Amino acid sequence: MSGMQFGVFTVGDVTTDPTTGRTPSEAERIKATVRIALKAEEIGLDVFATGEHHNPPFVPSSPTTLLGYIAARTERLILSTSTTLITTNDPVKIAEDFSVLQHLSDGRVDLMLGRGNTGPVYPWFGQDIRAAVPLTVEHYTLLRRLWREEVVDWEGEYRTPLHGFTLAPRPLNGIAPFVWHGSIRTPEIAELAAHFGDGFFANHIFWPPSHTRRLVQLYRQRFEHYGHGSADQAIVGLGGQVFMRRNSQDAVREFRPYFDHAPVYGNGPPLEEFTAQTPLTVGSPQEVIDRTLSFREYAGDYQRQLFLIDHAGLPVKTVLEQLDLLGEEVVPVLRKEFQIGRPDHVPDPPTHESLVAGQQR
């Protein structure tokens, strides 16, 4: 695979369909998520990423269980997260879970780390939200060592010390899964990603482009500062949010009740204002193509584009229709258009194969 990666990311919310009043069961939502992932592979997308939550109305509390199941039923799809909580998960458990997933999926796995913003999750897992930033740094530096060093001796503030610890299984081919750092708002995360030369994923979907531009610019500058390559070689991913019908007016009419009642922005600004100010695009496939191509104007040539398509109570049938449109009409054009004018020195998104090849070089 070369050029950009395209995929979908899911929050994993169980939300009542406002047009029918029907609420799916947790089992239905989990099975629907699997259908969405399988469909993503079928229509030629590259990535499926799941969120992680530890409270209702969300179902994905155990991402690698879900991704392991999807891995067994796919051949090509890269399995990822959006995000894996680096604060409240034990880094040792993250290392173990993703090592096993790497072996099961033959390397088709990377992960996106985030802090999580649901207050009570921290104390439920024995952590303190006020220490979220230093906790992130400590846990992540330990996670890196677990994947890279045979025997780890470690002591820190927030976890029991490790002496003579060896991660089992070792990462596939001795190569750690590629790590993205996801950020909605905070520049600290851009700095963290730049420091280690990891990927930076701007959630993008709740904010005006000016905000995303600033975060991505910061990440690119700091990536260069830390000596990982030039600013335009930094590894950038963006979120996006779309709802499509062949006819633009049909898309708006059908999506409006879902927008108006959506848990995140429902009962807030009207759809028109939200689409004007954020990347949310409700319209025809061509409108989605045009809007998505415009992201490059402020994010530069980037590596990964993930779309959110399955939230706010949309029925799975509708979501699968969205995937059909993405696969048939949108992504093939985006692949071609994003390649135009893309400098040769802009790297492809890192994959297990490319990281193994890079090590052998």
Partner 1 sequence: MTALVVVSGGIRESSSTRLLADQIEAAVRVELARANSPAATSVIELRPLGRAVMDAMLSGLVSTDLAAAFQLLAEADGLIAVTPAFNASFSGLFKSFFDVLPEEALSGMPVLIAATGGTERHSLVLEHALRPMFSYLHAVVSPTGVYAATTDFGSQAGLTDRISKAASDFSRLLQACGPRKRRDVFAEEVGEMTRLLASTEQGNAYGPSDPAG
Residue 152 is encoded by which pair of tokens? 């780890």
Beta strand extents in the chain (DSSP E only) = 5-10, 47-50, 78-81, 84-85, 111-114, 152-154, 162-165, 179-183, 199-202, 236-244, 281-283, 304-308
Q: Considering the complex, state which of residue 219 and residue 243 has its C-beta at the smaller distance from partner 1.
A: 219
Q: Considering the complex, state which of residue 48 and residue 219 has its C-beta at the smaller distance from partner 1.
A: 219
| Among 38, 133, 252, 271, interactor with partner 1 by CB under 8 A | 133
Q: In angstroms, what is the minimal distance from the CB of 102 to partner 1?
A: 17
| Among 152, 242, 320, 346, interactor with partner 1 by CB under 8 A | 152
Distance CA 153, CA 164 (A): 6
Residue 272 is encoded by which pair of tokens? 């028109």
Give the count of residues interacting with partner 1 (CB under 8 A): 41
Site membership for partner 1, residue 92 (CB under 8 A): no
> To the nearest 5 percent, what fractions of the chain are helix, strand and coil?
45, 15, 40
Site membership for partner 1, residue 110 (CB under 8 A): no
Q: In angstroms, what is the minimal distance from the CB of 191 to partner 1?
A: 4
Q: Is residue 213 within 8 Å of residue 234, measured between CB atoms?
A: no
Site membership for partner 1, residue 174 (CB under 8 A): no
Nearest to 177 by CA among 90, 72, 104: 104
- Binding part of the chain for partner 1, among 65-73, 84-92, 121-129, 224-232 by CB under 8 A, reads 224-232
| Among 227, 317, 344, 361, interactor with partner 1 by CB under 8 A | 227
| Among 129, 196, 213, 318, interactor with partner 1 by CB under 8 A | 196
Residue 11 is encoded by which pair of tokens? 């929050």
Site membership for partner 1, residue 188 (CB under 8 A): yes
Q: In angstroms, what is the minimal distance from the CB of 118 to partner 1?
A: 15
Q: Is residue 14 within 8 Å of residue 297, measured between CB atoms?
A: no
Q: Is residue 9 within 8 Å of residue 49, measured between CB atoms?
A: yes
Distance CA 157, CA 329 (A): 51
Q: Is residue 281 within 8 Å of residue 248, measured between CB atoms?
A: no
Distance CA 357, CA 361 (A): 6
Site membership for partner 1, residue 144 (CB under 8 A): yes
Q: Considering the complex, state which of residue 40 and residue 242 has its C-beta at the smaller distance from partner 1.
A: 242
Site membership for partner 1, residue 269 (CB under 8 A): yes
| Among 186, 217, 233, 354, interactor with partner 1 by CB under 8 A | 186
List contacts with partner 1 (CB under 8 A).
Answer: 133-134, 137-138, 141, 144-145, 148-149, 152-155, 186-188, 190-192, 195-198, 206-208, 214, 218, 222, 226-228, 264-265, 267-269, 273-274, 277-278
